[in-house]
């Protein structure tokens, strides 16, 4: 069965700092990759997704992620964070094989200090 | 025009009771899911339905039963509620195994 790991449980940054959140997955087949964000008290919203093509994908709110197939990684980046980016971030993997689970990572809490 | 809706938003009940949470999506998606998010924010998939057939059941206790009257609805019924069932339950939908759209969540508190 596939699994998803996220490198950091809690990241604390000051405004304008650069962000990189790590995500690795274990699955040998072809996958779709996602990053979701959950603002305090809210539901999950899609930040960006990768299905195929250019491994550097851009999402909403200035976020981007790079798929490195050889490393089974899909790290999330933002050059300059804002206080409003304070949230929980989830990496997710969806294998394209029928019947395989859609799996979320454990999440990384990002706290941005004003 | 809400894409994925859930009712109720909050549910407070006593141990041993039976309760249901409803979910509806108006996106025309063919797959719907239920997730449980615990106090540590960990998301665990409970069920998914594709074209009215259960295709995933992640060793969830049989006190939990999903019911899908049609492709746009996936309700969650819970029998004999226990303290450990307290969590936020999210419904989601997708086309196949693509991007999932989430509902606002139902916070269940079992006393």
Return the pLDDT at B12.
Answer: 97
- Residues A82, A15: contact at Cβ < 8 Å? yes
- Contact of A10 with chain B, judged by CB distance below 8 Å, is answered with no
Locate the chain A residue with the closest alpha carbon to B53: A99
Residues found in chain B: 111
- Residues A99, A2: contact at Cβ < 8 Å? no
Count CB pairs under 8 A between chains A and B. 51
Instruction: Show the domains of chain B with their CATH numbers.
Output: 4-110 (2.60.40.10)
- Contact of A106 with chain B, judged by CB distance below 8 Å, is answered with yes
As a whole-number percent, the residues of chain A with pLDDT over 70 amount to 96
Residues in B touching A90 (Cβ below 8 Å): 43
Residues in B touching A34 (Cβ below 8 Å): 99-100
pLDDT in tens, A31-88: 899 999 999 989 899 999 999 999 999 999 999 999 999 999 999 999 999 999 999 9
CATH number for the region A3-113 comes to 2.60.40.10
Token pair in block for residue B19: 């309760």
Token pair in block for residue A16: 């304008």
Alpha-carbon gap: B43 to the closest alpha carbon of chain A (Å)? 7
**CA B103 from chain center: how many Å?**
9
**CA-to-CA distance for B51 and B70, rounded, in angstroms?**
8
Please report the DSSP string for B40-96 in residue order: T--EEEEEEEETTEEEEE-S--TTEEEEEEETTEEEEEE-S--GGG-EEEEEEEEST
The pair phi, psi for residue B22, each rounded to 5°, is -105, 150
pLDDT in tens, B24-67: 999 999 889 999 999 888 898 898 888 767 776 767 888 999 99
């Amino acid at each position: 069965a596939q699994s998803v790991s996220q490198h950091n449980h809690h990241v604390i940054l000051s405004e304008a700092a650069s962000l990189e959140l790590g995500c690795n997955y274990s699955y040998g087949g072809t996958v779709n990759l996602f990053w979701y964000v959950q603002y305090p008290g809210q539901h999950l919203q899609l930040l960006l997704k990768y299905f195929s093509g250019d491994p550097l994908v851009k999402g909403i709110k200035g976020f981007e992620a790079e798929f490195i197939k050889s490393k089974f990684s899909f790290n999330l980046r933002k050059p300059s964070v804002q206080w409003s980016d304070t949230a929980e971030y989830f990496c997710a993997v969806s294998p394209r094989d029928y019947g395989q689970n859609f799996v979320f990572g454990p999440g990384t809490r990002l706290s941005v200090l004003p | 025009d809400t894409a994925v809706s859930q009712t109720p938003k909050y549910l407070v009940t006593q141990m041993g009771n039976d309760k249901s949470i409803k979910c509806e999506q108006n996106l025309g998606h063919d797959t719907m899911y239920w997730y449980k998010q615990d106090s540590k924010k960990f998301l665990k998939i409970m069920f998914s339905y594709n074209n009215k057939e259960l295709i995933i059941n992640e060793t969830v206790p049989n006190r939990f039963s999903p019911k899908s009257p049609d492709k746009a609805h996936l309700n969650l019924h819970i029998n004999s509620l226990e303290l450990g069932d307290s969590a936020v339950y999210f419904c989601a939908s997708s086309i196949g195994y693509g991007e999932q759209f989430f509902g606002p969540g139902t916070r269940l508190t079992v006393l």
